[in-house]
Structure 1
Amino acid sequence: MTVLRVRGLVKEYGGRRVLDGVDLTVEEGQVVALIGASGSGKSTLLRCVNLLEDLDDGQVELLGRDISDPRVDPDRARRDMGVVFQAYNLFPHMSVLRNVVLAPTVVHGVPEAEATTRALALLERVGLADKARAYPDRLSGGQQQRVALVRALAYDPALLLLDEITSALDPELVGEVLALVREIAAGGRTILMATHEMGFAKQVADLVCFLDGGRVVESGSPEQVLGDPEQPRTREFLRRVLDSGRL
């Protein structure tokens, strides 16, 4: 089943075209990694999929429904998507547990007891059960990002969007968050993620899409795109990544 289909997506800021006719398909259970230099359009694409940005042209279909139709309620469409950004965006005045159960109870109408049971089980799974009553400022960056992932999974979304979720972490904390994403992916979760971690993309992704100048320049298996790219621009990008030690 196709979970997400993006067709001819265009987004402009002040006359500058940030996304220039992007086409993308994500199948159920598939992990798709968006790679490319900063400013290539990866984060903007995720924000457009999540309807946090208005589209200038094109179409976004989620579970066969055109959610880019102006008549569609964006809040309703977002209920089928979980999203984790670079910043943790946890509510500082709420405990870890309350951060996790808020959306299931308030947005999805899940009974408090049921939402709490699921939240505690998820926190146990990521090794944070003992932090359920703690507040975000008492957690490390890696712990906060794991809580953000749990929060995104708490209502079992059809699609998980991850936007450079390790970019704000200290290097020693990156591994623990990537290990969790690897576990989530292995469980069959459908994921669209923007990442600078090429080695991780090679291990986890089913499909890698290289963006440059707001276009998908090349897409294919990790082995093909990261190991034997066809396009000169992809090869140039990967040479720079290799020189930086991130591949």
Structure 2
Amino acid sequence: MSLLTCRGLRKTYGGGHAVLDGLDLDVSEHEVVALIGASGSGKSTLLRCVNLLEDIDDGTIHLDGEHLTDPKVDPDRVRQRIGMVFQSYNLFPHLSVLDNITLAPRRVHRRGRADAEAQALALLDRVGLADKARAFPDRLSGGQQQRVAIVRTLVNSPRLLLLDEVTSALDPELVGEVLTMIRDLKSEGMTMVLATHEMGFARDVADRICFLDGGRVIEQGPPEQVLGEPTEARTRQFLHRIIEAGRL
């Protein structure tokens, strides 16, 4: 059984524009799925709907068999099992790295400070940032801040990690350290769905690539097939433009 199952997702905004238009998606446990497609194709909206940050107009979302889109479901309880990292780091500037990471475990999950800090320090050490625990966000590079943002989601031991263009705000020389961290998470078996414009990274880290267009999954398959031998004309058109831009 899939860890995540989305069926017939529909989401419209003002004017009746359908950002998601009957989208289906299955993600197996320990699988890494990369969402690619032009801006406006529905990648970010899909992630926000899965994390219950956006209400869907139609369709269903199940995680571990639980119906997340049931109106009786508590979104805060769901988000304890789903971690999400955004384009912007969203770190509190007045808190240290350690306090940013342990804020939710201490305030929401009522964990003791010593226990929360021990786990946070272990995670920071794992990603080479233990020496930054007492630093404030403005003393970190963009790549370091994004890695801290990812660690902040990992302290809750999520079943599913959603990554929304996590390298798009970074200078090119800082992208590598974030991508390395995501590769390490994959090797540890983390289930991830990531929206990305980094085609080379998608090819390298994803088990499956889904090409979105018009709010639907138009084509999906192994990276070498979707990026190397796409079967759909719309996928070929999109990749041709990516190649012309030097991004593949």
Note whether the superposition's TM-score is higher than 0.5: yes
- Residue 221 of structure 1 and its aligned partner are, at CA, apart by 0.9
User: Residue 95 of structure 1 aligns with which residue?
Assistant: 96
Residue in 1 that maps onto 2:83 = 82
Partner Cα distance (1:6, 1:110) in 2: 33
Gapped runs of 5+ residues in structure 2? none
Aligned-residue Cα RMSD (Å) equals 0.9
One-letter amino acid matched to 1:183: D
Say if 2:123 is the partner of 1:104.
no
Normalization by structure 2: what TM-score? 0.98
- The code of the aligned residue for 1:91 comes to F
- In structure 1, give the amino acid aligned to 2:41: S
Q: Measure how far apart 1:48 and its partner are.
A: 0.4
Which residue of structure 1 aligns with residue 120 of structure 2?
Answer: 119
Indicate whether 1:5 and 2:5 are aligned.
Answer: yes
Give ranges in structure 1 of 5+ residues lacking alignment.
none
C-alpha separation in 1, matches of 2:229 and 2:79: 36
2:24 counterpart SS class: strand
Using the aligned pairs only, state the percent identity. Answer: 67
- Pairwise CA distance, 1:107: 2.1
Report the AA paired with residue 217 of structure 1.
Answer: I
The count of corresponding residues between Structure 1 and Structure 2 is 247
Q: What is the identity, as a one-letter code, of the residue corresponding to 1:5?
A: T
Q: What letter is aligned with 2:91?
A: L
After the TM superposition, list the runs of 4 or more consecutive aligned residues in structure 1 that deviate by more than 4 angstroms.
none
Secondary structure of the corresponding residue to residue 103 of structure 1: helix
Residue in 2 that maps onto 1:56? 57
| 1:110 CA displacement | 2.8
Q: Residue 17 of structure 1 aligns to a residue in which SS?
A: strand
Counterpart of 1:17 in structure 2: which amino acid?
Answer: A
Provide TM-score, normalisation by structure 1. Answer: 0.98
- Corresponding residue for residue 146 of structure 1: 147
Alignment partners' CA distance in 2, 1:107 and 1:64: 25
Deviations 1:124-170 (A, max 9, x none): 11111111011111111111000001101111100000000000001
Q: Which residue is 1:70 aligned to? A: 71
- SS of corresponding position for 2:3: strand
Q: Distance in 2 between matches of 1:184 and 1:13?
A: 34
How much does 1:186 deviate?
1.1
AA in 1 matched with 2:3: V
1:23 is aligned to 24
Query: Helix, strand or coil for the counterpart of 1:2?
Result: coil
In terms of mean alpha carbon deviation, does 109-118 or 69-78 score higher? 109-118
Return the letter of the residue paired with 2:122: A
| 1:97 counterpart SS class | helix
